[in-house]
């Protein structure tokens, strides 16, 4: 891990570093949140970021790792959820103005339920085109997601926000 920043590490290397005690889930979470702060305004990969939730989950994960009891195959790995999947506690607006943001948001999609069982650190939700039905991510609700390597280009459709987030180190999994 010599000169590599935590935000540049893949999930497998983060987990190895947690096990070795050379990096903590809190450090990895803070690095991802810093990348989001530094790069997302120009890229628009995320439509929702919840630093308080993420840091709380990272501290819980860090405690499990310190006790030698990680809980799940992704315990402590910074991860995002596409804004197409119901996620308890966060609005799922699917890039559309037609969805009421003031719902209680009390359920998880099955994929999110399975993801939570592995205890990743959920950072937030990534931008998707309206209802994920486009080859470009230009959400009427959240705006255009840019390609991080050439901001005059698209990051792609449907999962463009997720792709841009991973490419820029705003979380290794999306």
The single residue listed with the structure tokens 């926000």 is 161
Q: Tell me the pTM.
A: 0.95
CATH superfamily for 6-167 is Amidase signature (AS) domain (3.90.1300.10)
| Separation between Cα atoms, residue 174 and residue 171, nearest integer Å | 7
Q: What are the sequence ranges of the domains in the chain?
A: 6-167
Q: Which residues contact 139 (CB under 8 A, 6 or more apart)?
A: 47, 95, 96, 127, 128, 129, 130, 145
For residue 4, what pLDDT is reported? 77
Query: What's the average model confidence in pLDDT over 35-46?
Result: 98
Residue-wise pLDDT for 127-158, tens only, equals 999 999 999 999 999 999 999 999 999 999 99
């Amino acid at each position: 891990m010599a000169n590599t920043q935590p935000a540049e590490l893949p999930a497998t290397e983060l987990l190895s570093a947690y096990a070795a005690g050379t990096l903590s889930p809190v450090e990895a979470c803070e690095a991802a949140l810093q990348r989001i702060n530094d790069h997302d305004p120009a890229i628009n990969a995320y439509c929702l970021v919840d630093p308080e939730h993420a840091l709380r989950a990272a501290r819980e994960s860090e405690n499990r790792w310190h006790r030698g009891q990680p809980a799940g195959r992704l315990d402590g790995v910074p991860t995002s959820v596409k804004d197409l999947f119901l996620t308890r506690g966060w609005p799922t607006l699917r890039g559309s103005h037609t969805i009421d943001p003031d719902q209680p948001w009390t359920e998880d999609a099955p994929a999110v339920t399975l993801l939570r069982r592995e205890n990743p650190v959920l950072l937030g939700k990534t931008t998707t085109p309206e209802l994920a039905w486009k080859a470009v991510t230009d959400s009427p609700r959240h705006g255009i997601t840019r390609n991080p390597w050439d901001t005059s280009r698209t990051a792609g459709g449907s999962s463009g926000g997720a792709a841009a987030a991973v490419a820029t180190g705003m979380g290794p999994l999306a």
